[in-house]
Structure 1
Amino acid sequence: MNMVQALNSAMDVLLKNDPNVLVFGEDVGFFGGVFRCTDGLQQRYSSQRVFDAPIAEGGLIAIAIGMGAYGLRPIVECQFADYIYPGFDQIVSEAARLRYRSGGEFTSPITIRSPYGGGIFGGQTHSQSPEGLFSHVCGIKTVIPSNPYDAKGLLISAVEDDDPVLFFEPKRLYNGPFDGHHDRPLKPWTDQAGADVPAGHYKVPLGKAAIIREGSDLTILAYGTMVHVALTATQETEIDAEIIDLRTILPVDIETIEESVKKTGRCLIVHEATRTGGFGAELSALVQERCFHHLEAPIERVTGWDTPYPHTFEWQYFPGPRRVGKGMRKVMAG
């Protein structure tokens, strides 16, 4: 399966196994989603369980919060991550706080899916990476998969979790793996990346990172599309880098990160979002706090630019193998 098929399979399994699961959002029903992630689900499970909704993200998320408090497990799709801002207050002030505010009497078991990041020439309102905004919010979990196997297992874990989960899906990875150079196809870089996705129910735990490549010279921390870019950069240098796919940025698997950085003594952080206030800054602080006496060089970040999303210069904005390779060499020279 590619990632679209894996996500569709996850929702199919969830809808089949749990009558409390619902799927709704913009164009997810009859049309099957703008990226076809919900294709065929309405036909299989009826328009009462898989249905279209207006372009009103604040309303969608508010309804989902009420459903969750009632005992349902709604999966809401915001058609692009850029559209999530009208629902920001509902996520931050209501969903994230409901369990704490009620002393555990109510929970908010909602999952908000959203296509994420650039790479489809979608311009400023269809290409953003807003995960850093939500990483500051206690009470929600944020997931960003990098391959189809993880995408399915993480989505099932998210929906079955009793806390609200933001599930960001990198659009550049929807239709198959690539080698980090634009959208050029590539053979799967792990056994899980291209086709080997079980048809049934399985879970990938939230809050647990994956070591994609073991190495001894340098630790690279990445998630989503940037995992592929980091791997390509490593293949094009002679640096023996260890690549960690965070998978979940909140909660973050600091134990795996700490163990790796203490082994290699160096750390490079890569993400597509803008640099200032990005999640890389939090990762840098965590590594410095926990691994300071093991570091042999300053921590380096390779990120998107501190600009509004530059449609004309989209591929220059993305961290690519050349920029990541330059960052790797800088850390090694430190």
Structure 2
Amino acid sequence: MFFPEYRPRRLRKNENIRSLVRETIITVDDLIYPLFVCEGKGVKQEIRSMPEVYRFSLDQLIEEVKQVVELGIKAVLLFGIPDKKDEVGSSAYAKDGIVQKAVRTLKEKFPDLVVITDVCLCEYTSHGHCGIIKNHTVDNDATLEQLAKIAVSHAKAGADIVAPSDMMDGRVGRIREALDEAGFTDVAIMSYAVKYCSAFYGPFREAAESAPQFGDRRSYQMDPANIREALREAYLDVQEGADILMVKPAMPYLDVIKTIRQEINHPLAAYQVSGEYAMIKAASKLGWLDEEKIMFESLIAIKRAGADLIITYFAKKVAQTLAKR
């Protein structure tokens, strides 16, 4: 009987050996924790379709961030839920806007925390679209000026990184120009370079109250069928000055993450979006999946595909689990 000279099972026989040869690991340094912040006081409101994810008022946000900082998480991504919305999303760049207040508060309390802000209009417009509406469609170039004002207002509040998620053509270049003109040359841009028009965003739209009131976002977010277009989008954002690229969603687009990783050397983030999170939570609640095991397996897949950074609603739980281990 023939026995192979190399037996792969030799390196699988116990956990200590497996850990020695493990190729991909998740650490707290990989994680960015997304947070929803709203007006008010004493607010910690669970989102129905995202168990254990909350809308926080500023006082409650401080308590949540204190916990994650103590767990070793180094970065958060802020989404604002304003009290008032209008056609042009003016509260998105107001000096006393909810995100601006949150940034100032977090940087005062946790100066070493990396504070990233979402730059978009969908949470702030009465119509729920990511740009300025003219003739029943999103006007790309008019939207760029609004996005530039939002990014500068976030930088003035103390944001370390701004993250435009709107998918307007040319927005990275216009934001970079505006930040530099305002003296914020050290504020980085994490571009939602490859953001697909995905059905996986449903729970987020509930959380951020940002569902479009008419039509959809197919004219500006990417067609899920396209990968070559993803490369074109990523290259454009690099040319315009993006410091970090992002693919969103993550799990259904692992091939896209891998392709961009192979072609472009910029730091690459992937967003494990609300629908991905909700599916895992729902299946685990029904007893169909082991939540902790699936949580780590899904994140390892994202990192193995090539992501350097992972934005995930599981960030706090991952950090807690790693601390116990």
TM-based fold match above 0.5: no
Task: Give the number of the structure whose alpha-carbon radius of gyration is greater.
Answer: 2
Higher relative contact order (CA 8 A, sep 6+): 2
Q: Which has the higher helix share?
A: 2
In the superposition, the TM-score normalised over structure 1's length comes to 0.31
